[in-house]
Chains A and B, each alone.
Chain A
Amino acid sequence: MTDVKDREQDLDRPEAQPEAGGPRACAHVCEAAGCMSLNADQVFEALRERATERGLADTAVKRVGCLRLCVAGPVVEIPERGLLFEAVDPSSPESIDSVINALQGSEGGRSTADDPFFARQVRIVLANSGVIDPEDIDDYVAHGGYEALTQTVTSKKPEEILEEVVRSGLRGRGGAGYPTGLKWRTVAKSSGAEGKYVICNADEGDPGAFMDRSVLESVPQQVLEGMAIAAYAVGASQGYIYVRAEYPLAVKRLRLAIRQAERSGLLGANIAETAFGFHVDIRIGAGAFVCGEETALIASIEGRRGTPRPRPPFPAQSGLWARPTLINNVETLASIPSIVRNGGDWYRAIGTEKSPGTKVFALAGRVVNTGLIEVPMGVKLRDIVFDIGGGIIGGAKFKAVQTGGPSGGCIPADDLDMPVDYESLAQAGSIMGSGGMIVMDETSCMVDVAKYFMDFCKDESCGKCVPCRVGTVQLHGLLDKITRGEGEPGDLDTLERLAVMVKSTSLCGLGQSAPNPVFSTLRYFRDEYVSHIEDRVCPAGVCPMTSSVAS
């Protein structure tokens, strides 16, 4: 693990001299959490040691953020040569040498140029992920980082920034898709004599979603820059990042990024030597999914139980300590610097009319290429699963894609040609959500999947409102009964009636969306429910069916 102190001293070093004779090939070692847990730090050490032995400069091996193809970790890329090395083994001299040899011109690895996993991605949020050293602000600055913020505070009015964000058409990437520009305008208009706040919601709780974690681990400065621009636009001087305790590496890199930015005069008082100041503090969650809901998150920052409250008033008017508060998701904020740099019109031209820009998805489950992808909105689901994702493991039969986590739904094979945007996913009975995409094959039972998510919601319900607290338990009980092979003819009606009740009467998004997995599996996979109840058979062979008479 990198020593934070060492890196801080690096800040004080004289600027690196540009290499004579153009850019040299450099091996980028992915040091995001996935690869780190597969000993990527040892890969880095082994590569650097071998590089030195071969007379290569220290700059020939570099630590970077997520290289996106998590399934192949630990991953090393030589971008100048378009080569990717999978499952690099620090204890194998051959494995290490194959990378070093490629640095010196030999063939090896896997070409990324024609690989659809890489070629079909469009990177805005992740443009610098896997390119820069996430623990070095200078590297971020050398790649255009903080240009947007400096420009903003030295030569733009807050209104100009608001206008640009509205024009970009950016919608909240946390899941609901509310227009970001409108939200910013509301906070900007709210009177904030006693101060306003900007909160970055990094409480990425959906199981199967790790986009925000990767962004924070790979380009932490970009999130801070987005927050500072937001603060300037809405008139805030204090910010908080609320991050899950389950993401220790993200927390560590954020802490370091804040310290480095403060020392470089890009956060804190007098940013870029102007009168504008913005401070950022980190608040760490303690394992409560509901804290992703904005009013619950605010309660948690205030040191209380994370229970939501009715809206209005919306946080934009009365949020943290009853002051106007802007809450945006990690990916939303990370999109801001490039929008400010390139203009709202540039951003709007990417993606679809109603869902402009790109979206980062965490592709996981029974798909070949699991990892992180960034694609323009409107791309077909089929292209994500079969082209970028490389299809189903072992050539098995595709069954469904689950999007939106416990608040979303399962999209069946018939809808694979659907464009991925907010409206289309909602029409199909799912949601965009924060970006988790779990691909399922014939080995998954859809009733069991619905039960799984309901189990999650029942555990994570905060208990404040009755429909969610009691309803999720009852819904789970019914699903459990069906998966045990004890379902009765009237159960599906009861399930639907109860689901409608929970959806329409719960206090917050958790309860309102908890029945979504039930609705979507009933809509597309009703026959599986019927088999469980009438034939006492689980077609996928997953459910225990303890009272089953058929074998």
Chain B
Amino acid sequence: MPPTVTETPTAAPMSDDKKWKMIDARIRRRGNSPDALIEVLHAVQEAFGYLEPDVLEYVGNALGVPLSRVYGVATFYSLFMLKPQGAHTVVVCTGTACYINHASALLGRIHERLGIKPGETTEDRNVSLLNARCLGACSLAPAVVIDGSVHGRCTPETVDLLLEELRA
């Protein structure tokens, strides 16, 4: 556990030692400095997949940042997730090149198939759908990223196949 700047550090839910070690290391490396907040939130999300309220409180205490500000930052930046995500993440790029190459048809097909819109997760927690404001893969437009791997020049039909793979 890193030294915390408040006198009553919140007890950390030590569910996963390794994850916490990683987060604590990140906090320590930046000397518990308040300006490390975004970097530490990145570390938390890397470890847990989203930002749990308990963790936000822990991070705030460790960095000497009021919870209100931690929450403010966590909700300001669109990459930070406050809810648990699905087992798979599907990102549809809606940058300009993808947009004019019919990215919305891909979103439409996913909605048809899974009943979710960007920002939502299927009820069985299998798939989370997000849209990205340009991945810089404009030559592959329209692009879809599934669990980190980019699929270029997608059509509603290729989306069907990709979604099928996630079911397996």
Q: Indicate whether A and B interact.
A: yes
Contact residues of A with B, CB < 8 Å? 33-34, 37-38, 70-71, 73, 204-210, 213-214, 245-247, 283-289, 300-306, 362, 364-366, 370-371, 402, 405, 436, 438, 440, 443-444, 449, 452, 456, 459-460, 462
Q: A247-B136, A301-B35, A303-B34 are in contact. Are A286 and B96 (CB under 8 A)?
A: no
Q: Which of B35, B94, B95, B100 contacts A302 (CB 8 A)?
A: B35
Q: A205-B133, A286-B77 are in contact. Are A305 and B139 (CB under 8 A)?
A: no
Within 8 A of A (CB), among B39-74: 39, 41-42, 65, 69, 72-73
**Of listed B72, B76, B101, B150, residue having the most chain A CB within 10 A:** B76
Instruction: Please indicate the chain B residues that have their CB under 8 angstroms from the CB of A306 in the complex.
Output: 76-77
Instruction: Please indicate the chain B residues that have their CB under 8 angstroms from the CB of A38 in the complex.
Output: 140, 152
**Of listed A207, A304, A440, residue having the most chain B CB within 10 A:** A207
A366-B100 in contact (CB<8A): yes
A302–B152 Cα distance when bound, in Å, is: 36
Closest chain B CB from A371 CB (angstroms)? 6
B34-A209 in contact (CB<8A): no
Instruction: Please indicate the chain A residues that have their CB under 8 angstroms from the CB of B69 in the complex.
Output: 304
A286-B80 in contact (CB<8A): yes
A364-B141 in contact (CB<8A): yes
A194–B149 Cα distance when bound, in Å, is: 45
A284-B138 in contact (CB<8A): no
A204–B72 Cα distance when bound, in Å, is: 23
A34-B140 in contact (CB<8A): yes
A304-B134 in contact (CB<8A): no
Q: Which of B80, B135, B149 contacts A246 (CB 8 A)?
A: B135
A37-B96 in contact (CB<8A): no
A73-B139 in contact (CB<8A): yes
Instruction: Please indicate the chain A residues that have their CB under 8 angstroms from the CB of B99 in the complex.
Output: 207, 452
B136-A33 in contact (CB<8A): yes
Q: Which of A209, A285, A370, A462 contacts B134 (CB 8 A)?
A: A209
A370–B137 Cα distance when bound, in Å, is: 10
Contact residues of B with A, CB < 8 Å? 33-39, 41-42, 65, 69, 72-73, 76-80, 94-97, 99-101, 132-141, 149-150, 152
Q: A207-B133, A209-B136, A246-B135 are in contact. Are A283 and B39 (CB under 8 A)?
A: yes
B138-A287 in contact (CB<8A): no
A70–B79 Cα distance when bound, in Å, is: 27
Q: Which of A73, A208, A214 contacts B95 (CB 8 A)?
A: A208
A-B contact count (CB 8 A): 129
A123–B159 Cα distance when bound, in Å, is: 38
Q: Which of A210, A289, A303, A365 contacts B100 (CB 8 A)?
A: A365
A444-B100 in contact (CB<8A): yes
Q: Which of B65, B77, B138 contacts A370 (CB 8 A)?
A: B138
Q: A288-B76, A370-B138 are in contact. Are A208 and B97 (CB under 8 A)?
A: yes
Q: A213-B136, A371-B139 are in contact. Are A207 and B95 (CB under 8 A)?
A: yes
B138-A362 in contact (CB<8A): yes
Closest chain B CB from A319 CB (angstroms)? 14
A285–B35 Cα distance when bound, in Å, is: 13
A209–B135 Cα distance when bound, in Å, is: 9
Q: A205-B133, A306-B77 are in contact. Are A210 and B138 (CB under 8 A)?
A: yes
B132-A246 in contact (CB<8A): yes
Closest chain B CB from A194 CB (angstroms)? 16
Q: Which of B37, B42, B94, B138 contacts A245 (CB 8 A)?
A: B42
Residue of B nearest to A445 (CB): B100
A287-B77 in contact (CB<8A): yes
Closest chain B CB from A335 CB (angstroms)? 20
Residue of B nearest to A455 (CB): B94
B134-A208 in contact (CB<8A): yes
A440-B136 in contact (CB<8A): no
Residue of A nearest to B70 (CB): A303
A208-B138 in contact (CB<8A): yes
Q: A288-B77, A436-B96 are in contact. Are A305 and B72 (CB under 8 A)?
A: yes
Instruction: Please indicate the chain B residues that have their CB under 8 angstroms from the CB of A283 in the complex.
Output: 38-39
| Selected A-B contacts with CB under 8 Å, 7 pairs | A37-B150, A208-B97, A286-B42, A364-B96, A438-B138, A443-B100, A456-B133
A70-B96 in contact (CB<8A): no
A320–B69 Cα distance when bound, in Å, is: 19
Closest chain B CB from A37 CB (angstroms)? 3
